Structure 1
Amino acid sequence: MNGRKIEIPLQIKSAVAHGAGALRMICYLDGTEIIIGIESNEKKRNVPYLYAYPELRNLPIIGTGNNADPELIAKLQPEVIICTFLSSSEANELQKKTGIPVLCLSYGDFNKNENNFCESMRLLGSILDRNKRAEYLINYINNSLNSVEIACEKLASSERVYIGGIAFRGSHGINSTEPSYAPFRYTYAYNVAEELTNNPNFSASQLNNVIIDKEQIIVWNPEKIFIDLSSYTLSEPDLNKNSVLGKLVPAIQNDEVYFLLPHIWHSINYEHILISTFYTAKVLYPDLYPTMDIKTKANEVYEAFLGKAIYDSIFDLYGMGCQKINEK
Structure 2
Amino acid sequence: MDYHIGIMAGLLIIIGVLISGCASTEKAQPPESIPGPSIIDLEDIAATNSGIVLTDAIGREVTVPRNITHILCSGPGCMRYLSYLRETEKAVAADQVERDTVSPAPLPYLVANPQIRTLPAAGKVTDAIEPSRVTGLNSRPDLIILMGDNPQISADELQRRTGIPVIVLQDGDLSYRRNAMNYSLRIMGLVLGKTERAEEVIRFFDKVTENLQARTSTISDFQQKKSYLGGYSTPNPEGLFSTTSIYMPLRLIPAHNMAEEYGNQNSLSGAFSIPKEALIRMAPDAIFLDMTTWSLKESAVADIEKSESINGLPAVRQDEVYGLLPTALYGEDHESDLINAYVIGKALYPEKFTDVDPKVMADYIYAFLYGEPIFEELNKNYGGMALSRIPLFT
TM-score normalised by the chain length of structure 1: 0.91
Please give the alpha-carbon distance, in whole angstroms, between the structure 2 residues aligned to 1:206 and 1:34: 31
Shift of 1:111: 4.0
Please give the alpha-carbon distance, in whole angstroms, between the structure 2 residues aligned to 1:251 and 1:207: 27
Specify the alignment match of 2:99 in structure 1. 43
Specify the alignment match of 1:60 in structure 2. 120
Shift of 1:59: 1.7
Aligned to 1:287, the other structure's residue is in SS state helix
The answer to whether residue 134 in structure 2 is matched with residue 69 in structure 1 is no
Shift of 1:276: 0.7
The answer to whether residue 59 in structure 2 is matched with residue 3 in structure 1 is yes
Contact 2:304 2:310 in 1 (8 A): yes
Gaps of 5+ in 1: none
Specify the alignment match of 2:391 in structure 1. 326
Please give the alpha-carbon distance, in whole angstroms, between the structure 1 residues aligned to 2:252 and 2:170: 23
Shift of 1:252: 2.3
Specify the alignment match of 1:28 in structure 2. 84
Please give the alpha-carbon distance, in whole angstroms, between the structure 2 residues aligned to 1:164 and 1:79: 43
Specify the alignment match of 1:14 in structure 2. 70
Specify the alignment match of 2:215 in structure 1. 151
Compared CA separation, residues 133 and 206, structure 1 to 2 (3 A): closer
Contact 1:41 1:64 in 2 (8 A): no
The answer to whether residue 358 in structure 2 is matched with residue 294 in structure 1 is yes
Please give the alpha-carbon distance, in whole angstroms, between the structure 2 residues aligned to 1:248 and 1:179: 24
Shift of 1:295: 1.9
Letter of the aligned partner of 1:254 in structure 2? Q
Cα offsets for 1:32-84 (capped at 9, x unmatched): 12111112321223211011111121222212231322211111221111111
Letter of the aligned partner of 1:135 in structure 2? E
Question: Which among 258, 279, 299 is matched to residue 343 of structure 2?
Answer: 279
Compared CA separation, residues 122 and 279, structure 1 to 2 (3 A): same
Shift of 1:184: 1.9
Question: Which among 226, 230, 241 is matched to residue 175 of structure 1?
Answer: 241
TM-score normalised by the chain length of structure 2: 0.77
Aligned to 2:350, the other structure's residue is in SS state coil
Question: Which among 158, 183, 189 is matched to residue 94 of structure 1?
Answer: 158
Compared CA separation, residues 122 and 116, structure 1 to 2 (3 A): same
Specify the alignment match of 1:81 in structure 2. 144
Aligned to 2:206, the other structure's residue is in SS state helix
Shift of 1:206: 5.0
Compared CA separation, residues 319 and 155, structure 1 to 2 (3 A): same
Shift of 1:247: 3.6
Tell me how large the CA RMSD over aligned residues is: 2.1
Please give the alpha-carbon distance, in whole angstroms, between the structure 2 residues aligned to 1:224 and 1:203: 22
Structural mapping, 1:103-182, within 5 Å: 103-156=167-220, 157-182=223-248
Shift of 1:178: 2.3
Contact 1:153 1:187 in 2 (8 A): no
Specify the alignment match of 2:6 in structure 1. none
Please give the alpha-carbon distance, in whole angstroms, between the structure 2 residues aligned to 1:69 and 1:22: 17
